[in-house]
C-alpha cells in the first residue's frame, strides 16, 4: 500500500506542476477505483448472493461539486434469506490503514437513497455539492455484512488512480440527438464527439443545466486523432418544461485533457 501511495504522491506533484503552467484553476479531476484486493485471511463464502464478484467506482471532481458513481456485482440475486448489508467506504490512506471519510450502508435486497439494484447489479450515483471530501491519497472498500450479526461475509479493497486536465488533446461535441425526454424519468440522449490530438484512453461526457439532472458517462474506448463516436448521456427533467442543457466531452489518458467549448441544446418534454 505504501508503494502505491508513493506513486499517487508522484502524480499529485506532477499535477501541481501542470497547474503552474496553464490548465484552468478548476480543472476536472477524476478518480477511479477498482476494488480487486480480497483479504487473504477472509474465509470464502458459500452463498453466491453474499459474494462480491466485482466492484468499481469513480469520482468526477469539479472543485465546487463532485459526482460519485459505483457499481457492485453480486454472485446471485438476493432474497429474504440471503440479504446482506452492503458497506461502501471511501477515505484517505493513514499509515497502513484507510480512514473512512465517506460511506454508504444499504441492504442488498432493497437498497435505498442513491443506490438501486437491478438483478445482481447494485449501482450508486451521488452528487457531492462541496466537491470531493477526500485527502490526496484515496482508498476504499466494499464489504458485505451479515444483517443479524454484522460479521463480514465478503470484502474487496482498492486504491484510486488519479488524473487531471492537460493540453494534450481536445474533444468537441458536434451533435446531440434524442432531445425529447420524459419528465421525471431517466432518458438517454446521444452525443456525437470528435477528437483531435495525441492518443487518449477514452472520453467522459457530462452536462449541466437548470431543471435537469445528468449522470456523466465514461467511454473507455481508445481515441486517436480524427476519431468520431456516439456516446450516451443519461438525463432527467425535473419539471415539465423545456430546459437548456450544456454538454461537454473530456478525453483522458494517463492525465486528463480539457474538453472544447460546450454545446448547448434544448431538451423538450415528451408525453
pLDDT tops 70 at residue 33: yes
> What is the pLDDT at residue 86?
97
Cα four-point dihedral sign 187, 206, 178, 237: positive
pLDDT of residue 251: 85
Cell of 20: 503552474
More confident site: 3 or 212: 212
pLDDT band at 15 (very low <50, low <70, confident <90, very high): very low
**pLDDT single digits (tens) 102-115:** 889 999 999 998 99
Residue by residue, DSSP assigns 157-169 as EEEEEEEEB-TTE
Least confident of 112-116, 225-229, 255-259: 255-259
Q: What is the pLDDT of residue 88?
A: 95
Using pLDDT thresholds of 50, 70 and 90, give the confidence band for residue 69.
confident
Predicted pLDDT of residue 174: 94
- Domain residues of the chain, as ranges? 2-164, 169-269
How far apart, in whole angstroms, are the C-alpha atoms of residue 28 and residue 64?
Answer: 11
Domains 2-164 and 169-269 share a fold: yes
Quote the pLDDT of residue 9: 32
Say which CATH topology domain 2-164 has.
Immunoglobulin-like (2.60.40)
CA distances from 90 to 126, 129, 147 (A): 13, 17, 21
Please give the sequence-ordered ranges of beta strands (E in DSSP) within 183-257, or none if there are none. 187-197, 202-208, 212-215, 217-219, 228-237, 243-252
How does pLDDT run across 116-146, given as a tens digit for each residue? 999 999 999 887 655 555 555 578 999 999 9
**pLDDT value, residue 230:** 96
For residues 46 and 96, give the distance between their C-alpha atoms in angstroms, rounded to a whole number.
Answer: 30
Q: In this predicted structure, what is the pLDDT of residue 23?
A: 36
Stronger pLDDT, 72 or 14, i.e. the higher one: 72
Cell numbers found for residue 225? 486523432
Buried b (16+ CB within 10 A) or exposed e, 36-70: eeeeeeeeebeeebbbbeebbbbbbbbeeebbbbb
Look over the chain and give the mean of its residue pLDDT values, rounded to a whole number.
Answer: 80
CB 131 within 8 A of CB 61: yes
CATH class label, 169-269: mainly beta
Q: Give residues with Cβ within 8 angstroms of 267, minimum separation 6.
A: 179, 180, 181, 189, 209, 212, 235, 237, 242, 243, 244, 245
Span of 9-23, 57-71, 143-157 with lowest mean pLDDT: 9-23
User: Would you say residue 25 has pLDDT above 50?
Assistant: no
For residues 52-71, give the mean pLDDT.
83
| Of 205, 195, 192, 206, nearest in space to 171 by CA | 195
SS3 10: helix
Amino acid at each position: 500500500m505504501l508503494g502505491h501511495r508513493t506513486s499517487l504522491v508522484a502524480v499529485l506533484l506532477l499535477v501541481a506542476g501542470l497547474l503552474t503552467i496553464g490548465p484552468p484553476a478548476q480543472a476536472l479531476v477524476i478518480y477511479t477505483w477498482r476494488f480487486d484486493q480480497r483479504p487473504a485471511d477472509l474465509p470464502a463464502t458459500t452463498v453466491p448472493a453474499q459474494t462480491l464478484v466485482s466492484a468499481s467506482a469513480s469520482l468526477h471532481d469539479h472543485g465546487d461539486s463532485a459526482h460519485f458513481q459505483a457499481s457492485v456485482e453480486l454472485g446471485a440475486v438476493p432474497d429474504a434469506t440471503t440479504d446482506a448489508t452492503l458497506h461502501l467506504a471511501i477515505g484517505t490512506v493513514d499509515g497502513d490503514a484507510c480512514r473512512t471519510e465517506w460511506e454508504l450502508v444499504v441492504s442488498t435486497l432493497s437498497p435505498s437513497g442513491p443506490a438501486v439494484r437491478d438483478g445482481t447489479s447494485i449501482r450508486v450515483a451521488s452528487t457531492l455539492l462541496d466537491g470531493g471530501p477526500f485527502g490526496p491519497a484515496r482508498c476504499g472498500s466494499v464489504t458485505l455484512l451479515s444483517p443479524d450479526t454484522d460479521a463480514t461475509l465478503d470484502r474487496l479493497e482498492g486504491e484510486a488512480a488519479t488524473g487531471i486536465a492537460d493540453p494534450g488533446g481536445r474533444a468537441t461535441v458536434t451533435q446531440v440527438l434524442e432531445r425529447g425526454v420524459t419528465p421525471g424519468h431517466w432518458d438517454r440522449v446521444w452525443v456525437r464527439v470528435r477528437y483531435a490530438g495525441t492518443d487518449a484512453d477514452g472520453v467522459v461526457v457530462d452536462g449541466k443545466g437548470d431543471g435537469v439532472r445528468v449522470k456523466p458517462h465514461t467511454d473507455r474506448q481508445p481515441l486517436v486523432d480524427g476519431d468520431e463516436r456516439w456516446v450516451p448521456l443519461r438525463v432527467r427533467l425535473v419539471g415539465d418544461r423545456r430546459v437548456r442543457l450544456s454538454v461537454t466531452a473530456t478525453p483522458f489518458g494517463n492525465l486528463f485533457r480539457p474538453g472544447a467549448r460546450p454545446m448547448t441544446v434544448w431538451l423538450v418534454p415528451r408525453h
